[in-house]
Structure 1
Amino acid sequence: MRTIVKGSLAAGAGVVLLLGGAGTLAVWTDAEDLPGTGSTSGYLDLTDPVCDPWELDGGAAFTTQPIVPGDELSHRCTFTLDAAGEHLAATFETSDPVVTETNALVDDLVVSTAYTVAGVPVDPEAGGVAVQDGDVVTAVVTVSFPLGSDNASNVPTAGLQATLEDITVTATQGHSG
């Protein structure tokens, strides 16, 4: 038994000398290059809008006739998306219209916008909708003069003028995956 222990110790010492005692250990390494690629960024652009005339209460063409509490003006415009890139999404928003007057009528007007992309309604709470080049975006801007607004009798708004000028529609790129 002593011979086996002595032989094992001698073999172990030999391995230690080979691995650590001489300070060298054979190690192979290899490296390979991975191919690169080029890329170009995409874009998202709304074409100039094509708009229907303003309408009063969803039908009659609005020109300059006086509005009364309860009336609603609407304006429908379409844009075509000029877009490049995969996985594009967009959110849409409308600025408040520029109004040259400051008065009680202006304070009572309520502006809202509904959007569709390729005929599908856009949920403003969804955080974006998938879009692609050539999609038709429709924006329907509505300006309401609510009946029974904050001015309970609406008398403070009688005979006042509000001129709506520019309204800006903005498409902001997101990512759909």
Structure 2
Amino acid sequence: MDKRGKATLAAGGAVVLLLGGAGSLAFWQDSTESGGGTITSGELALSECTPVSGSGWTDDTNGTAEPIDIATFRIVPGDTLSYTCTTVVSADGENLTATLAADTSEMFAAGSDPALQARLIETEMTVTDGNGAVLPNAQITEADDGATITVAAELTFDPATPDQEAQNASVTLNNVAITLTQNTNPAVAP
């Protein structure tokens, strides 16, 4: 037999071996079913923030919260005004934590006097539970689900306002968004 015939015969034998081997190779195998179930998501929400009394605004300058009509009150340097409202928290979910904050980025409406606006100092928002205890760092957990919380924010007219700056001026306040944002769960890395 010549070399070409031997090569053809060898190639044909290899194909037969490969085809025959493809069907005979097997590993053990088995299957079972895992338990099914229903997964239900939780909830994170706030009800509408309701003013504590009247308009929600008070004059806190002398250490007492005196209700005021914000439209007729004439603020002077050193005065501190507060807005206080209550909201009901819906916080339902395992491992749920969230932070309450106020978005004051658009607090002043267009057309507000820039000198007065610059002299109104925002202080940190205070969040208290139904018993009046301050919630550290405005943190909400599932334990607060269904609780009524109080949110208070202050504006102080800078007592160091010089000369006659910001006199006979006005600012218009927009509604301030109070946000409740879920915290990142450290056990779940992105």
Alpha-carbon distance between aligned partners in 1 of 2:163 and 2:88, rounded to the nearest angstrom: 40
Structure 1 unaligned runs (5+)?
1-26
1:175 and 1:83, CA in 2 relative to 1: closer, same or farther beyond 3 A? Answer: same
Give the letter aligned to residue 36 of structure 1: G
Please state how far the C-alpha of 1:104 moved relative to its aligned partner.
0.6
Please state how far the C-alpha of 1:28 moved relative to its aligned partner.
6.0
Q: CA RMSD in A?
A: 2.6
Give the letter aligned to residue 116 of structure 2: L
Alpha-carbon distance between aligned partners in 2 of 1:116 and 1:86, rounded to the nearest angstrom: 23
Please state how far the C-alpha of 1:142 moved relative to its aligned partner.
0.7
SS in 2 for 1:107: helix
Give the letter aligned to residue 109 of structure 2: V
Deviations 1:36-88 (Å, cap 9, x if unpaired)?
A: 32212111111112213311124222221211100000111110113332222
Alpha-carbon distance between aligned partners in 1 of 2:135 and 2:156, rounded to the nearest angstrom: 21
What residue in structure 1 maps to residue 58 of structure 2? 55
Alpha-carbon distance between aligned partners in 2 of 1:84 and 1:109, rounded to the nearest angstrom: 37
When the two structures are superposed, what TM-score results if normalisation uses the length of structure 2? Answer: 0.67
What residue in structure 1 maps to residue 128 of structure 2? 116
Aligned to 1:166, which of 131, 150, 175? 175
Q: State, as a whole percentage, how many aligned pairs show the same letter.
A: 27
Alpha-carbon distance between aligned partners in 2 of 1:45 and 1:154, rounded to the nearest angstrom: 46
Deviations 1:108-154 (Å, cap 9, x if unpaired)?
A: 11123111244431333x8x442342122210011111201xx4x15
Alpha-carbon distance between aligned partners in 2 of 1:45 and 1:129, rounded to the nearest angstrom: 11
Give the letter aligned to residue 106 of structure 1: Q
Aligned residues: 149
Preserved contact between residue 100 and residue 140 of structure 2 (Cα < 8 Å): no
When the two structures are superposed, what TM-score results if normalisation uses the length of structure 1? Answer: 0.71
What residue in structure 2 maps to residue 40 of structure 1? 40
What residue in structure 2 maps to residue 139 of structure 1? 151
